[in-house]
Amino acid sequence: MIVEFDYLNGIKQIKKVIPHKDYLEIVKPSFNREKEIQNILKEDKRKKELSNTKKKKFTSELYELDKILEPYREPYCTDESALGQAVKTGKLVLPKVQGGTSDIKVTIIKK
């Protein structure tokens, strides 16, 4: 779902709200693997230790990860985050050091 968050100070944000389960099972591991492969390829540019076959395998895996992660490239939050909970309650609940609880206007742009 795509949501617009309108804060009391006039700032607006548009974010995709994704299930926390998707974040844990798809997004986080895929981003971690993508970063790992990018580091391997970056290191290989320096050391030149990987065979062409391995480089192609990693490049192909990066391409597949990119397809998996495409829907998550735009700004997002999970439904269990403070913003995700604000969709249900209309209140942004943060620790006091981050401003505490405040009302927030939430507009669902796309379900």
pLDDT for 44: 84
Helices (H), the chain: 20-22, 28-47, 52-69, 82-89
Pair 43, 26 in one domain: yes
Distance in angstroms (rounded) separating the CA atoms of residues 110 and 3: 7
Distance in angstroms (rounded) separating the CA atoms of residues 30 and 70: 11
Number of domains the chain is built from: 2
Other CB atoms within a 10 A radius of the CB of residue 16 amount to 17
User: For residue 84, what are the domain limits?
Assistant: 1-19+79-111
Q: What is the pTM of this model?
A: 0.80
Pair 68, 86 in one domain: no
Percent of the chain at pLDDT > 70 equals: 100
Pair 71, 33 in one domain: yes
pLDDT for 39: 92
Distance in angstroms (rounded) separating the CA atoms of residues 68 and 78: 17
Query: What band does 32 get if pLDDT is binned at 50, 70 and 90?
Result: very high
pLDDT for 103: 92
